[in-house]
């Protein structure tokens, strides 16, 4: 990942959507109607930016190429389950991303010192735990989508359909508190709020259902894990190393 650090810097720069949405919401006045102060709004979207940076999952794009080209075949001959190889690559990419995100946060603090804050030790630890859970949940969800690569050579295109509910139901483009009650209930019945809204609230010190958030992460991980195993076993029966 260090060899591709220039590309990772571009990936980090491409993840500034929460900061763009902060500019939109600051000028709309809608957040104040939902009971949010300007400081809470700033802290939430900066926290959402951090969560977004360290929960990015690109598994399906690499896995699709490996299946189509036949690169998956030698991985299957090794004793380590191949998905752990991709999981480790994501962790390495996150570690390489840290200095770029730190520089971006320093630039933000230079422009507007009020954008950054110092969370308490409890908020930081709970937020990091939720961030790790959000990454694992996203990885499992995309692992399940990646299993479609055994049946389709363009499964990544199908996975892009999940981007729409992820953007609007996760709290990435709008805090869930600004949604109508019916939409909030629908969003909370999906795994998406646990991927952004929950860890962002913890990091920014906003009121949050601590037990409910962690329970949602656990339940969705327990649901997706066996589905991923089932998809992997079924997919291997169809795998023919098409490009080999």
Q: What is the mean pLDDT of each run of 10 residues along the chain (244 residues)?
A: 76 82 78 78 93 94 90 92 95 92 90 86 94 97 93 82 90 89 94 96 92 96 97 88 48
- Spatial CA neighbour of 144 closest among 15, 32, 233: 233
Give the separation between CA 105 and CA 115, rounded to whole angstroms: 9
pLDDT at 241: 56
pLDDT at 133: 97
pLDDT at 242: 52
pLDDT at 31: 67
CA 144 remoteness from chain centre: 15
191: helix, coil or strand? coil
pLDDT at 169: 94
The secondary element (H helix, E strand) that includes residue 68 is helix 59-69
What global pTM score does this model have? 0.91
pLDDT at 209: 92
CA 57 remoteness from chain centre: 6
Structure token pair of residue 129: 């735990």
pLDDT at 30: 66
Give the separation between CA 207 and CA 198, rounded to whole angstroms: 10
């Amino acid at each position: 990942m260090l060899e591709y650090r220039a590309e990772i810097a571009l990936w980090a720069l491409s993840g500034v959507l929460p900061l763009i949405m902060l500019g939109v919401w600051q000028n709309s006045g809608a957040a104040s109607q939902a009971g949010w102060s300007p400081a809470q709004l700033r802290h939430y979207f900066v926290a959402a930016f951090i969560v977004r940076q360290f929960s990015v999952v690109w598994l399906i794009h690499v896995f699709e190429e490996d299946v189509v080209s036949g690169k998956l075949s030698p991985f299957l001959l090794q004793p380590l389950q191949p998905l752990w190889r991709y999981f480790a690559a994501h962790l390495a990419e996150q570690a390489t991303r840290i200095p770029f995100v730190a520089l971006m946060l320093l630039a933000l603090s230079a422009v507007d010192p009020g954008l950054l804050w110092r969370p308490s030790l409890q908020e930081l630890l709970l937020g990091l735990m939720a961030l790790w859970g959000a990454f694992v949940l996203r990885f499992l969800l995309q692992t399940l989508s990646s299993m479609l690569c055994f049946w389709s050579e363009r499964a990544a295109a199908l996975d892009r359909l999940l981007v729409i509910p992820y953007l609007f139901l996760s709290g990435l483009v709008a805090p869930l508190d600004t949604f109508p009650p019916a939409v909030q209930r629908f969003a909370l019945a999906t795994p998406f709020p646990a991927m952004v809204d929950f860890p962002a609230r913890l990091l920014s010190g906003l009121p949050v259902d601590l037990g409910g958030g962690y329970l949602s992460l656990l339940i969705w991980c327990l649901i997706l894990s066996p589905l991923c195993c089932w998809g992997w076993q079924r997919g291997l029966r169809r795998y023919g190393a098409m490009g080999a």
